[in-house]
Amino acid sequence: MNENIGINIKELRQKAGMTQNILADKLGVSFQSVSRWERGEGYPDITLLPMIAAIFDVTIDSLFGISTNEVDKRIEEFYNCRRKGYDHKQLIETAHNICRDFPKKREPKYILFDLLSAPPSDEKERNEGIKLGYELINSATSADDWRKTVVIGDMIAILPDEELEDFIAEYTHDRSLDAMLITRYRRQKDDKKFLKQYAKALYSELWSFFNCFHLPLLGMLKQEERKPHCEFKMKILNALTQFDRDPLSVLGDGEVDIFTLWRIQWGTLMAAFTNNEEESIKMISEALTLFDKIRSFPENTPLETRNPLFAPIKIYVEHNSDKGYTGLFPEITSIGASGIDSEFIKYNLETPFFDWLKDNEEFKEIIKRLS
């Protein structure tokens, strides 16, 4: 166990104005035990750690002297490795190391699971991913709801046939909740709740359509299929926002609404397949114009849409500087929060899809601006 834990407990106890006797009473141990911990002559039983953390209102990681900043720094190093083009096995090894060093943190485990459950993982890696997936699902808290949903979806993709039916029966019943509530409100003739639940369910499906596996999917498509695919999604976005003057416009009418995140994402990706530098730079610039508008909005600004079908949905702007987000959109569906930041846009632009544009000076300036 970390040798600093006793020092950290002592500092927290003194800061709280608590004696060794009081802390010992709260934990059901002798004050001599607390004294030994603080002198570095022993460690608290691992089962006491959650109670100690709760008493001082800190995380278990902070008892060990692990700051959130340290974890975030290591995670950022992982994403830097990905941007540098590390191969799949190198990325898995990097994620393994972070999980080993921060065993209580969930975010590194989600990163590792994403790698193990995705191509080109081999059978051994997929089996490890399945084991980790069960761990993440069964230990998920309410704060992990949307992550749990994503893990369940990935598990369905990689489980062997003989396990699939039992897994679906045990873990996917909640996915029918929207349909059951829609039926309930329709039978009750509660039009307001019916329309809101319907909009919520439809928005959840659209979230999956526009966000899940977009880069792997583009990688699997043939070169000549990629541009039509991106254009197809942009046409749908313009139809959803009821902007019909130019079905392929990234900027649209320049207004920010509940679909703007997806417009930014697919606007930048569509720019990769124009084979026209001027046209591509224009698309990327329009996407960044929308991104700058998001950043200019005050915290908790409600975003709406003029599409009456989605009128019941409200999504709010959140600026989360601690996590590096310059604009995060928590939304009301079961999918959870949708977010985008400058690093996400830069990551899209640094994929091999944009290799043909990398010598363009305007493109270089855009990358520099996002760095």
> Which of these ranges, 38-52, 120-134, 240-254, 348-362, has the smallest mean pLDDT?
38-52
Following DSSP, what letter does each residue of 199-257 receive, concatenated? Answer: HHHHHHHHHHHHHTTHHHHHHHS-HHHHHHHHHHHHHHHHHHTT--S-TT-SSTTS---
> Which of these ranges, 66-70, 94-98, 199-203, 207-211, has the smallest mean pLDDT?
66-70
**According to the model, what pLDDT value does residue 324 have?**
45
**According to the model, what pLDDT value does residue 331 have?**
42
Render pLDDT for 48-105 as a digit per residue (tens, 0 to 9).
887 888 788 777 767 776 555 778 888 888 888 887 888 899 999 999 999 998 888 8
Report the alpha-carbon distance of residue 49 to residue 56 in Å, rounded: 11
> Which of these ranges, 100-114, 139-153, 300-314, 343-357, has the smallest mean pLDDT?
139-153
Mean pLDDT in residue range 18-44: 86
**Domains in the chain with CATH codes:** 5-63 (1.10.260.40), 68-171 (1.25.40), 178-370 (no CATH)
Contact between 303 and 258 (Cβ < 8 Å): yes
> Which of these ranges, 17-21, 36-40, 47-51, 57-61, has the smallest mean pLDDT?
57-61
Return the structure tokens found at 222. Answer: 């043939």
pTM of the model: 0.57
